[in-house]
Each structure stands twice: as C-alpha cells, then as structure tokens.
Amino acid sequence: MEAFWILAPDSAAHPAMVLLPYLFLPIVGFPVTPFLVLLGLRFGSAWGIVFMMAIVPIHLVASFWFTRAIASPWIWKLAKKTGVTIPELPGHRQLGFAFLFMVIPGLSYSIKNLLLPLSGIRFFPYLICGWLIQGIMGVPFVIMGKALIQWDMKLLAVVGIIVLVLFLFKHKIRDMYRGIMKL
C-alpha cells in the first residue's frame, strides 16, 4: 500500500508508471479500481478521466478479440461437455442486456469485458455500451484519487454517497437483468 502513495502528483513518478500498467494489467484480470484512483492521484480529476476514457476502449477491443478469436471456441466446448448453456441473445435484446450486465455490481471489470462477447453481441454495441457504462462507473474512483490527495472531505463524501447509491440499487438492477434473461 505504501507504493500506492509514491505516485502522488507531487512525486517525480513518470506518468508512464501509471498509464502503462493501467493499459495492460486490467486486460489480464488485474483489478481496475486501484488504477482509477491512481489516475486521479497522478493526473487530477479532469486529466484522469480523460486518460481513463481513452484507455477503456483499448481494454474492450482486446477483451472482445480475445473472447471471440481465442477463448470462445474453448469455452463453448467446455460448456457442452459440462452441460452448461450459454445464452445467445436475439439482436433486439442485446443492447438492453449489455447495459444491465455492465451496470450490475459484483463481477469484476475484466470478467464483464470478457463474458459479454459470449452473448453474441455485435462489436459496436458492445464497445459503445461498455465504454459508456465502464466510463461512468469509473469516474467516482478517479475523483476519489484527487480528493484523497487534497483531503477534500466534501468531495470524498459525494463519492461515498454515489458508491452507496449504486450499492443500494444493485438488487433492483439484478432483478431487471433476471427479467430480461427470462424473456
């Protein structure tokens, strides 16, 4: 945890020390939240959000390609052997499903990015939905990084309230998701 604070804006840490790990590690399953906080710490809220929004599509493209080109055939074979059914969504339900799937808390950022392409969703709806939802959900964590370095308790309280509201509504969002899956 001590290394986390070394990258604060006052340090001489090169921006690549934050951006390069954030670019590659979430693709292979590393938790994204520490990187979002580091973006806020190192670059401030505005630039941190800009960098986050610029890198999320790279994660999404890499995850989509990996799932469809490499992992999907293996996953389908494994599912068939074990008797697990992987739902394929009709085209008119894909965007609603993708939206709810990305919003539901619980699964990690990387897992969501890898699993959604298995639903049969087309690339552009996947990219736009993932970029929009993951970007919006990441903003409070980037802001939290800036608030931590400034010890801005008001800003930390606002971020805390946003996270609490998301947590409280997760059950409602899950119910909507289950309703879509039954149709």
Contact 56, 48 (CB under 8 A): no
- Which residues lie below 8 Å from residue 119, measured CB to CB, with a gap of 6+? 86, 87, 88, 89, 94, 97, 98, 101
pLDDT value of residue 166: 67
pLDDT average, residue stretch 166-170: 68
- Condensed to tens digits (0 to 9), the pLDDT of residues 5-63 reads 444 445 556 888 889 999 999 998 899 988 998 898 888 889 999 999 999 999 999 99
Sign of CA dihedral 35, 136, 49, 162: negative
Confidence of residue 174 (pLDDT cuts 50, 70, 90): low
Percent of the chain with pLDDT over 70: 73
Q: Does residue 123 register a pLDDT over 90?
A: yes
Contact 37, 67 (CB under 8 A): no
- Condensed to tens digits (0 to 9), the pLDDT of residues 89-118 reads 777 777 888 888 888 777 888 888 988 898
Nearest to 67 by CA among 116, 33, 7: 116
Q: Does residue 145 register a pLDDT over 70?
A: yes
pTM value surpassing 0.75? no
pLDDT average, residue stretch 112-140: 89
pLDDT value of residue 119: 83
